[in-house]
Each structure stands twice: as C-alpha cells, then as structure tokens.
C-alpha cells in the first residue's frame, strides 16, 4: 500500500512530496473550492442541509470526481454541514436552515488520486454582529496560520499564530480536533494543532501537504459528540466557526490548493 504513495517520509514520519505532485493537489483543491463557491447561492433560509448535501454530491459526480467522505468510517454524505453551535462533522439531514443561521460546509474530493479538503462559513439571511465577529476572527486566524507556513518554521509556529490571534480577540480555539497531513490519503501525519508554542513540533519542509482548519468558539473551547457519534457541538452551546484550506510547503513559502476560483471564500465576499 504505502509503497505506492509518491514522495518519501521524513524523520518525523511526514511525507515529503515532489514538485510535480503540487499540480495534482492544485486540481483536487480547485474542484473542492469551486463546489463551495457554487453551493453558496443555495444557502438560504428554508433550505434543508440534506438538500445542500445532495447538490454537493451531484456536483462531485458531475465533475467526474469521487467524494472522500462517502464511505469514510461509515459516513454517508458528500459534505459535513455544521450549524451555529455545531463545531464540526454536522450530518446533513432534514433540518431547515433559518434566517440568521451560520453554517460551515466542509467538502473533500478525490481527483486523480489526490485529496482536496476545504471548508468555509456561510450565512443564511441576516448576519448578527456577534456571528460576524466570530466568522471574521476565525477566517483571519486561518490566514495567520498560513502566513507561518514556510520551510524552517515549525508546526508549533502555525498553532501559536492561530491561538494568539484568537485569544487576543477573547475567543477560544477548539482543542479536540485538528488539521492533518493529506495528499494521496485523506488523513496522514502530522496532527496540525491550532494552538501551541512557537518553535515546538516538527519542522516544516518543502513538499509537505496538510490542512489548517481552526475551529473557534465564542465561548469555552470544550466540545462533546452527540449520540449520532459524529456531530461535535460546543459544551456551553456558544457559536462556533471554522475555515479550512489544504496547503503545500514550497521552497520559500506556501501554496494554497483550495483557493476559491470565484473569490468567495469569505461569506461577505463575491
Ligand atoms: N473534511 C473533514 C476534515 O476536514 C473530515 C470529514 S470526515 C467525515 O478532515 F466523515 F465526517 F466526513
Ligand atoms: Co480536513
Ligand atoms: Co475538511
């Protein structure tokens, strides 16, 4: 199995991909991002999360790609849709989106064997001031993390940049979920923590591919999993937001594989 994967493992067990592998990640990432662009027009009060998911599944198939989440550990859907106090892994269902709801939609596709994993926030109807603040801080925290990606920095530098920014705005970083290596697999080493000490953790090297996907709560960081075994919610019922990009370490910085083709990554853009 493992011998079929491209690149090689470094001393921390993290795969280092070749320059030619970036194109495959770019293609997969662009599709995932385009699907998130195209679903935006349908995120309106009155829609159900299962209708949004059905549309996403249709778009994945229409592109000739494969959903990475359908069949993953028994998961049955092409997306995770996490509303309001749901932190992540919300299961699409008959729930109706209401005016003022905020939601994260997370899509992972496989194109030519490469995985593209991205999520972003959407707003149905009216955006409250506190939700607007949470979404802005979460978005900007992701980019603080991405700005720390370059060879010679460490994974701890990424987590530290995110945590410092979020806590500086009196919000909290979820500890119970993290980003992950990816490439020709969905989840690979290392765990990409969204908190930590500067200079700690494995050193970033050219050719590493991973996600950064901070979850930020307006209240306390603790989460719990509902009886469906997937849905993670804030224990204190406070609002939660998340943004996710898949990135690669280049010779001198970072390539974001999941940039929005339509410039719609943030809900108030595009
Ligand atoms: N896309 C999620 C991530 O960012 C994983 C979802 S797994 C699922 O890693 F099974 F819940 F879909
Ligand atoms: Co991910
Ligand atoms: Co994801």
Which DSSP string corresponds to 132-169? HHHHHHHHHHHHHHHHT-STT-BHHHHHHHHHHHHHHT
d(C-alpha 244, C-alpha 88), whole Å? 11
Distance from Cα 79 to the centre of ligand 3, integer Å: 9
User: Based on C-alpha coordinates, what's the Rg of the chain?
Assistant: 17
Encoded tokens for 54? 């059905």
Give residue-wise pLDDT tens across range 122-151: 999 999 999 999 999 999 999 999 999 999
Pocket of ligand 1 (CB under 6 A): 69, 72-73, 75, 80, 89, 106, 108, 117, 211, 213, 230, 244
Instruction: Give the number of the atom of ligand 1 that is nearest the alpha carbon of residue 72.
Output: 10
d(C-alpha 146, C-alpha 159), whole Å? 10
Nearest protein CA to atom 12 of ligand 1, as residue: 69
pLDDT class for 269, splitting at 50, 70, 90?
Answer: confident
d(C-alpha 38, C-alpha 109), whole Å? 15
Probe ligand 1: pick from 60, 174, 186, max atoms within 8 Å of CB? 186
Give residue-wise pLDDT tens across range 151-201: 999 999 999 999 999 999 999 999 999 999 999 999 999 999 999 999 999
Give residue-wise pLDDT tens across range 213-253: 999 999 999 999 999 999 999 999 999 999 999 999 999 99
Closest ligand by atom to 211 CA = 2
**What value does the mean pLDDT take over residues 88-104?**
98
Query: Which pLDDT score, from 0 to 100, does residue 238 have?
Result: 98
Q: Which residues sit with Cβ closer than 5 angstroms to ligand 2, an ion?
A: 117, 211
């Amino acid at each position: 199995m493992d011998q079929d994967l491209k690149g090689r493992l470094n001393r921390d067990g993290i795969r280092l991909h070749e320059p030619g592998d970036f194109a495959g990640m770019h293609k997969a990432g662009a599709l995932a991002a385009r699907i998130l662009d195209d679903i935006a027009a349908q995120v309106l009060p009155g829609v159900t999360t299962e209708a949004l998911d059905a549309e996403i599944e249709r778009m994945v198939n229409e592109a000739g790609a494969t959903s990475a989440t359908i069949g993953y550990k028994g998961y049955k859907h092409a997306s995770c849709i996490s509303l309001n106090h749901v932190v992540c892994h919300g299961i699409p269902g008959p729930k109706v989106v209401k005016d003022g709801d905020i939601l994260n939609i997370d899509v992972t596709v496989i194109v030519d064997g490469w995985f593209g994993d991205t999520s972003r926030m959407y707003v149905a109807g009216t955006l409250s001031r506190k939700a607007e603040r949470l979404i802005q801080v979460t978005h900007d925290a992701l980019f603080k993390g991405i700005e720390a990606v370059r060879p010679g920095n460490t994974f701890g530098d990424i987590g530290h940049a995110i945590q410092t920014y979020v806590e500086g705005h009196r919000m909290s970083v979820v500890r119970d979920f993290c980003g992950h290596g990816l490439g020709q697999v969905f989840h690979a080493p290392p765990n990409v923590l969204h908190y930590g000490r500067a200079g700690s953790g494995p050193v970033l090297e050219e050719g590493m591919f991973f996600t950064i996907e901070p979850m930020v709560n307006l209240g306390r960081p603790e989460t719990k999993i509902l009886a469906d075994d997937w849905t993670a919610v804030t224990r204190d019922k406070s609002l939660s937001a998340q943004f996710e990009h898949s990135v690669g370490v280049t010779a001198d910085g970072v390539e974001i594989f999941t940039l929005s083709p339509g410039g719609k990554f943030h809900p108030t853009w595009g």
